[in-house]
A = this chain, B = another copy of it.
Amino acid sequence: MNGAESLVKTLVENGIDVCFSNPGTSEMHFVAALDSEPRMRGVLCMFEGVCSGAADGYARIAGKPASTLLHLGSGLSNASANLHNAKKGNVPIVNIIGDHALRHHQYETPLRSDIKTLAAPVSHWVHAAPNAEGMSDDVAAAITAAGKRKIASLILPADVSWSDNADEGIKIAKLEPLPIANDNTIDEAHSKLTNGKKTVILVGGTITASLSQQLSQIAAATGAKICAETFPTRMYRGAGSGVLEKLPYLAEQAIAYLAEYQQIILLGANPPIAFFAYPGVPSELQAAGTDIISLAAPDHDVEATVVNLMKKMGDLPEPNCFPDQKLPLAEGELNSFTVCQSLANLLPDNAIIVDEGATSSLPLYPMTQTSAPHDWLTLTGGAIGFGLPCAVGAAVAAPDRKVVCLEGDGSAMYTIQALWTMAKENLDVCVIVFNNAKYNILELEFARTGAPGGKPGKKAGAMFDIGNPSVDFVSVAKSYGIYGVRCDSAESFNNALKEALAHKGPRVIEAMVPPFQLTP
């Protein structure tokens, strides 16, 4: 058995049976090994940022890691923005990064680079496999690392891959349980919840149906407010989900929101900090003197921690859940609000929403609060280009669920190649692109950062103008063999959306909308 075969076998024996791949010459033995292992599914992507974003989306939905196959340091670089997003979201991924043969490392060659250094900022665990013999051990160690909701990057030199002396024994990773809050911490949280002070539980990461329901019970019993972080990794929402709020994105609004609380209990969330710094606006969003404790860190077992907390609390009221109460279909002008309203109406049961719609999809969150139950995936690391790849991965993980991916015209462009993989794999994804011909969020942020003049002049404004030419997303879809339709009224959008949701496979809907205004 060669190193590559041992690698692939160890992955599948440990339940990692999808590899989002963009191979090159140094990875040919890994590619060959796919033929020897029927259980491994190779999903080809035309850009490495699609591989990593897809692995992120896959793991969020499958609850277990996928692998990526990347071509040396440059392939890793292309994957890094979406690895960053996954890392921030505590999403596990096992990267296989091909490298030159060990004997080739000493030479200056075009593709030689410092892969370990490149990998470090976007990984929790980095290891270069030194030989084929120990390959299965190395892969098992990577999987163990990833099992802690981490990014594991295994560097695979070509000669390690092709050497025929891999150990025949396949190792099984020893997955450790995620940490659970200890009794003292739970007692402290419990006492805070019952000391009469105004308290918000800021919950982040993966918020399951049961977690949101349980938190709603705690809220009912204690008067605490439940609030999700602005960009949770995965959030069960809609009818039947436990009632909670969401921390606003805009720092001023978040500060106003948190001002009324004396205590913040962090549950799988980091302390509330402004997304960006602004002149004259504090970075810390809570009021001065607010008491903050962490009940569970983002890489802890939040659900088990909450179960233990509930045991301390004794009998609790019934969950307080959002009702099933759909907004009517929108009519008339097509804009961010009418698009979101119609989607809130038509959203199928158990859909997965991937939200990278920036300003344009802002109305969707409140509007879908009482829609059909669904999962909501957000941009956890702020690196644009996550949405379409994430939708690829989510659809691979859950072929029986409809994925709805919301994109801005600007954000869609970063990893547009994901559409090709949707077509190749016939993934059930409905992509809705808001085409407003602007980097609208930057226009919004320009004034907020206190940039001189408040409004961009001609040259600065040109940096936000993507309307000359405006991207034609029907042609974009056609490029990759996907049917796309352009809509410029609520009625045409409603029809296109109904048709896309009834269709099994990828579709693109281009919604021609005016730039989003904070008030409609």
Name A residues whose Cβ lies closer than 8 Å to a Cβ of B: 2, 21, 23-26, 28-29, 31-32, 34-36, 38, 40, 42, 44, 46-47, 49, 72-75, 77-78, 80-81, 84, 88, 100-101, 103-104, 107-111, 113-114, 117-118, 120-122, 158-159, 162, 231, 270-271, 273-277, 279, 283-284, 379-385, 410, 413-414, 416-417, 420, 423-424, 441-442, 445-446, 448-453, 456-460, 462-463, 465-466, 468-473, 475-476, 478-481
Contacts and interface: CB of A to CB of B under 8 A. Distances in A.
Contacts of A283: 101, 103-104, 107
A38 B460 CA distance: 11
B74 A80 contact: yes
Nearest to A40: B459
B107 A88 contact: no
Contact of A121 (B110, B118, B465, B476): B118
Contacts of A46: 410, 413-414, 466
Contacts of A26: 276-277
Contact of A117 (B120, B277, B449, B479): B120
B81 A74 contact: yes
Contact of A25 (B276, B453, B458, B480): B276
Contact of A453 (B32, B84, B276, B473): B32
Given A277-B158, A279-B162, A420 B469 contact: yes
13 contacts: A21-B463, A26-B277, A34-B459, A34-B463, A75-B81, A110-B381, A114-B121, A162-B279, A413-B420, A471-B480, A472-B478, A475-B479, A476-B476
Contact of A81 (B34, B78, B109, B121): B78
A105 B108 CA distance: 36
A244 to B, nearest CB: 20
Contacts of A279: 159, 162
Given A42-B459, A77-B77, A78-B49, A442 B276 contact: no
A276 B118 CA distance: 20
Contacts of A74: 80-81, 84, 381-384
A110 B385 CA distance: 14
A457 B31 CA distance: 10
A31 to B, nearest CB: 5
A458 B101 CA distance: 26
A453 B275 CA distance: 52
Contacts of A379: 110
Contacts of A452: 2, 29, 32, 35-36
A460 B81 contact: no
A154 B442 CA distance: 22
A78 to B, nearest CB: 5
A109 B278 CA distance: 14
Contact of A110 (B159, B231, B458, B473): B231
A388 to B, nearest CB: 13
B121 A113 contact: yes
Contact of A460 (B35, B276, B451): B35
Total identical chains: 2
A321 B23 CA distance: 41
A426 to B, nearest CB: 10
Nearest to A470: B481
Contacts of A162: 279, 449-451
A42 to B, nearest CB: 6
A108 B47 contact: no
B31 A469 contact: no
A77 B123 CA distance: 13
Contacts of A273: 104, 107-109
A121 B381 CA distance: 22
Contacts of A73: 84, 121
Contacts of A120: 114, 117
Contact of A468 (B122, B424, B445, B463): B424
A75 B383 CA distance: 8
Contacts of A277: 26, 100-101, 103-104, 158-159
B480 A469 contact: yes
Nearest to A378: B110
A471 B231 CA distance: 34
A68 to B, nearest CB: 13
Contacts of A111: 275-276, 381-383
B410 A31 contact: no
